[in-house]
Amino acid sequence: MNKLLAEEDMDILSYFQKIDRMVEKIEGLSKNCRPVLNGERFLTDNELSTILKISRRTLQEYRNEGRLSYIRLGGKVLYRESDIERMLQDGYRKSVRQP
């Protein structure tokens, strides 16, 4: 049985909605994708403060105190992802209360 497909057809609408969702997801992935340099990923002040949920001023204090390694490239400050992970692991403290 041949059926003429129209824009109002629910199958067609569903198909195009799925394509739209896929395009949005792909755009989101490509927007957040960062190229790797020698196997390392780098984060900006803005990105790191958002991830850690701290202010950029706090990041500056961490740099000044020597708690946080960084690279200054021109006027931009970059952080190695591996340095951040190490800092978080070093600061990890187990709970003293046992259930």
Domain boundaries along the sequence of the chain = 42-90
Task: Give the pLDDT confidence score for residue 90 in this predicted structure.
Answer: 86
Looking at the domain that runs over 42-90, which CATH code has it been given?
1.10.10
79-85: average pLDDT: 91
User: For 20-58, how does the pLDDT look when each residue is reduced to its tens digit (9 = 90+)?
Assistant: 999 988 887 777 666 677 778 899 999 999 999 999 999
Question: Helices then strands (H, E): number in the chain?
Answer: 4, 3
Task: Give the pLDDT confidence score for residue 33 in this predicted structure.
Answer: 65
Q: Which two tokens stand for residue 25?
A: 């997801």
Amino acid at 40: E
Separation in Å, CA 52 to CA 8, 21, 45, 91: 47, 29, 11, 13
